[in-house]
Amino acid sequence: MTAAPATKAAIQRAIAAAQAAGLVITAVVIGRDGSVRIEASHPESLDHPPDAVQPLRPKQWATR
Protein backbone atom coordinates (compact mmCIF):
# COMPACT_ATOMS: atom_id res chain seq x y z
CA MET A 1 0.00 0.00 0.00
CA THR A 2 1.48 3.33 -1.02
CA ALA A 3 1.26 6.57 0.93
CA ALA A 4 -0.94 9.40 -0.25
CA PRO A 5 1.02 12.15 -1.99
CA ALA A 6 1.19 15.62 -0.51
CA THR A 7 -1.44 17.83 -2.05
CA LYS A 8 -0.93 21.39 -3.22
CA ALA A 9 -3.46 22.53 -0.58
CA ALA A 10 -1.54 20.79 2.24
CA ILE A 11 1.70 22.46 1.15
CA GLN A 12 0.02 25.87 0.94
CA ARG A 13 -1.52 25.42 4.42
CA ALA A 14 1.85 24.52 5.92
CA ILE A 15 3.55 27.53 4.33
CA ALA A 16 0.76 29.88 5.38
CA ALA A 17 0.89 28.60 8.98
CA ALA A 18 4.66 29.08 9.19
CA GLN A 19 4.41 32.60 7.78
CA ALA A 20 1.56 33.45 10.17
CA ALA A 21 3.79 32.33 13.05
CA GLY A 22 6.40 34.84 11.90
CA LEU A 23 8.97 32.30 10.77
CA VAL A 24 11.36 32.84 7.89
CA ILE A 25 10.98 29.81 5.63
CA THR A 26 14.26 28.43 4.34
CA ALA A 27 13.03 25.16 2.79
CA VAL A 28 9.95 23.02 2.21
CA VAL A 29 10.57 19.26 2.31
CA ILE A 30 8.00 16.80 0.95
CA GLY A 31 8.45 13.28 2.33
CA ARG A 32 7.73 10.04 0.49
CA ASP A 33 4.98 9.35 3.00
CA GLY A 34 3.16 12.55 2.01
CA SER A 35 4.38 14.58 4.97
CA VAL A 36 5.18 18.27 4.57
CA ARG A 37 8.06 19.68 6.63
CA ILE A 38 8.87 23.38 6.79
CA GLU A 39 12.44 24.30 7.66
CA ALA A 40 12.69 27.79 9.05
CA SER A 41 15.16 30.11 10.67
CA HIS A 42 14.28 32.33 13.58
CA PRO A 43 13.61 35.96 12.78
CA GLU A 44 15.99 38.46 14.29
CA SER A 45 13.41 39.51 16.87
CA LEU A 46 13.55 36.04 18.46
CA ASP A 47 17.34 36.04 18.70
CA HIS A 48 17.38 38.96 21.14
CA PRO A 49 15.18 39.33 24.21
CA PRO A 50 12.65 42.17 24.07
CA ASP A 51 13.46 45.41 25.84
CA ALA A 52 10.38 45.22 28.08
CA VAL A 53 11.56 42.18 30.07
CA GLN A 54 11.39 42.68 33.82
CA PRO A 55 14.52 41.84 35.80
CA LEU A 56 14.53 38.57 37.73
CA ARG A 57 14.24 39.68 41.36
CA PRO A 58 11.60 39.41 44.08
CA LYS A 59 8.78 41.92 43.96
CA GLN A 60 8.79 44.57 46.68
CA TRP A 61 5.93 44.95 49.13
CA ALA A 62 3.91 48.13 48.78
CA THR A 63 4.68 50.80 51.38
CA ARG A 64 1.87 52.42 53.34
CA distance 7 to 19: 19
The answer to whether position 62 is within a domain reads no
The answer to whether position 1 is within a domain reads no
Q: How many domains does the chain have?
A: 1
The answer to whether position 58 is within a domain reads no
The answer to whether position 61 is within a domain reads no
pLDDT of residue 36: 92
- pTM tops 0.85, yes or no: no
* Beta strand segments in the chain, E: 24-30, 36-41
The answer to whether position 57 is within a domain reads no
Domain that holds residue 20: 8-44
The answer to whether position 14 is within a domain reads yes
Q: Classify residue 28 by its DSSP letter.
A: E
* Residue scoring higher pLDDT (43 or 5): 5
The answer to whether position 64 is within a domain reads no
| pLDDT tens per residue, range 10-64 | 999 999 999 998 888 999 999 989 899 999 886 665 556 566 666 778 877 888 7
